[in-house]
Structure 1
Amino acid sequence: MIELFDVTKRFGDEIAVNDISLRVEKGELCALVGTSGCGKSTTLRMINRLIEHSEGEIHLDGQPVRTFNEQLLRRRIGYVIQSTGLFPHWTVARNIGLVPRLLKWPRTRIRERVAELMGLLGLPPAEFAAKYPHQLSGGQAQRVGVARALAADPEILLMDEPFGALDPITRESLQHELRDLQARLHKTIVFVTHDMDEALALADRLVVMHRGRIVQQGRPIELLREPVDNFVASLLGGVERGLKEAGLTRVSERMLPLGPRLLARERVAQTAPLRDALSMMLWHRVDRLTVVDDDDIPIGELSLRRLVGGRPE
């Protein structure tokens, strides 16, 4: 869906992005991570031509982005930023319907689409449609921003630190909502964040940038297990990489079938990450948990030795 070939961006004598190549598959959530000033936001903005690249080529669905009309290109790509960018004197419904109006959709279709997205993002139209941005919480405003980006049903969604200004609880809630939304809509998403836990939780592909270059990319668990150098290892958490890997691995991947012993009193869901299972063991001072399915029926067991990757008992 998105391809960058040897792309460079210069601002005068300064090289912000240096000869990068990247392929984002259709339906994939690709997270760009790195320290401040590494070029991740510049890379994002070159995709929809908010910033023009200096060298190389950027393709969308096989076509160079420079063959598209700039305004039409941006209307077919959803764009979400940290500050939401909502028009303060427009209602929520009018903000969400912006791009469909520019595309001259019929009014009835716009109303239906706005109501559909508000429902999808937990903003009941009867309660929120007539409100203004200043009447919303940070989380609600960011939901409106996401709804506006999705309004014209774009195949591509660009998200630049969308949850960066939110408190931790709201941020985690919106991360869960984005995962659920992506599971249903299968958009191609490029997501910029400086929060490594957020990137690991959301990304199908992780792209680490440093000083304008891509230094490593791949599945999050691959980078955690085999960072290419000390910079990547440090960015991914250093000595805490094992805990972060445990946050990506499900209990079902390490559990064993129920044995002849009595069931352990403490239970853990098969879909829970190993990190949660380890926390439960530490909290309850046990070294074995009963694993249950979605109906709370025991289906296996997880020992501490198994959790940390030892041989089955």
Structure 2
Amino acid sequence: MAENDSVLAAARVWRGAPMALATVVSTWGSAPRPKGSHMLVHADGRFEGSVSGGCVEGDILDTAAKVIAGAPFAVKTYGVADASAWEVGLPCGGEISVMVQPVSAEGFDPELFDRIAEARGQGRALTVTTDMATGHSDLRPVEAGEVFVNRYAPPRRLLIVGAVQIAQSLVPLARTLGIETVVIDPRGRFLTEERFPDTILDDRWPDEAIAAYAPGPATAVVTLSHDTKIDDPALIAALNGGAGYVGALGSRRSHAARRERLAEAGMTPEQIDRIDGPVGIDIGAIGPSEIALSVAAAVVKAFRDQD
């Protein structure tokens, strides 16, 4: 999941140091973090990630310090029914179980971080299985006993077609959400580093660019240029490539005309129906920033629906 990106990055930076990995292995009710969420703890007390949004992190840090010092892996359960609920529980409701294991050959092997990074770099998901009797994690399935299975999806990516004002607001929003973002526009006057600082810029024609990025379920494509010569080829490439989400800016009237053009270009009704048009969740948005917010929400929802 995207929320673990910072943990995977920290694992690379801290490689070789004694560490412990905390993982949410079960949830009930209004638990603040989903199963599979990680918190990586360094021997010097630094940590990255979260397993509860702050409710139980203090107790997990204490447990992690013991595991790093040689104590066996542990599974801690927290909920409002606990006597210490307001100290190390979940006063917001719900219940979670958190596994704390050493980052070692006996627990979560450090090499697994490399394998996860390699798979994500290739756009592939990777599944890691943990034997809950021993706390040992492996890529091979555990044949008997209680196990926890964590799936590491490829990084989420957003391809924005059209370096327009809405895109200027959408890029930082997507970045905050942990979504890798690329702005595609063959118009040099629009696509500048000044307008999109610290952003991947691609000046190829959208159909060529999108095909090169090989969009899959973890890729969203949004067309914003309002220029049919730019947007239509992008939509065709996104639909043919199997992008997880495809959205197009425009009114209902313009979308109806777009459907006709795409049908004439050979797109099937089923493919065209996949386009979210007008793009975004209806929040009554006015202005570029609010429209960007509605688009970002639609992208996140599409990704969540795949989880």
Does TM-score exceed 0.5, indicating one fold? no
For CA contacts below 8 A with separation 6 or more, give which structure has more relative contact order: 1
